[in-house]
Amino acid sequence: MLTTHTIVKFIQNKPESSNKLISRTLLKIAVVSKFYNPRPSASHPKADEFWIVNIVKETGEGKASGCFVVEPQFRVPTIVKDNITSPHILHLAPSMFTYEFVNGKIMVKPDDPGRPWIMPLELKSLLAQKEKAYALIVCLAPNVEQYYQGGKSPYAKHP
């Protein structure tokens, strides 16, 4: 599998597991690579945080069993609006992307892959059920994190 950038939400795994954090955002379990070494300015992911990650490997490719191995790249910042804290991400709607079905996975290609997109669970489930897919990946540009740097908003127009 080619390296793919996407956004995932990490959750706490069972205490007895060797993988303390996992993600179910891709419909198939994702775990942090044992070779992950954060950048000097980065931290390790924590439960309930959204991160831009690289998918570096898939075990059990073409099957629902197995997992994706990811390397976290950048924590998605949060915003506070009306005393509610939420991740600073955008939600895809049906007319904002194309997709292809590849070996049991749906590869979603946003019209503007340079923005921090995630697909709402209802739409993701509907699409996966329609295509009989075991995983769904929203493919983002490798430089998507730059839209958070320098105080830029992902909601603003970018070249």
Amino acid at 27: L
pLDDT of residue 143: 84
Q: Which residues of the chain fall short of a pLDDT of 70?
A: 1-3, 39-42, 150-159
Beta bridge partners of 4: 55
123 CB contacts (<8 Å, ≥6 apart)? 92, 93, 94
pLDDT of residue 3: 66
pLDDT of residue 88: 87
As given in the structure block, the two tokens for residue 54 are 């690289």
As given in the structure block, the two tokens for residue 148 are 């958070």
Cα distance between residue 64 and residue 96, in whole Å: 27
pLDDT in tens, 19-34: 889 999 999 999 999 8
pLDDT of residue 2: 59
Beta bridge partners of 68: 30, 58
What is the model's pTM? 0.86
User: What's the mean pLDDT when you consider all of the chain?
Assistant: 87
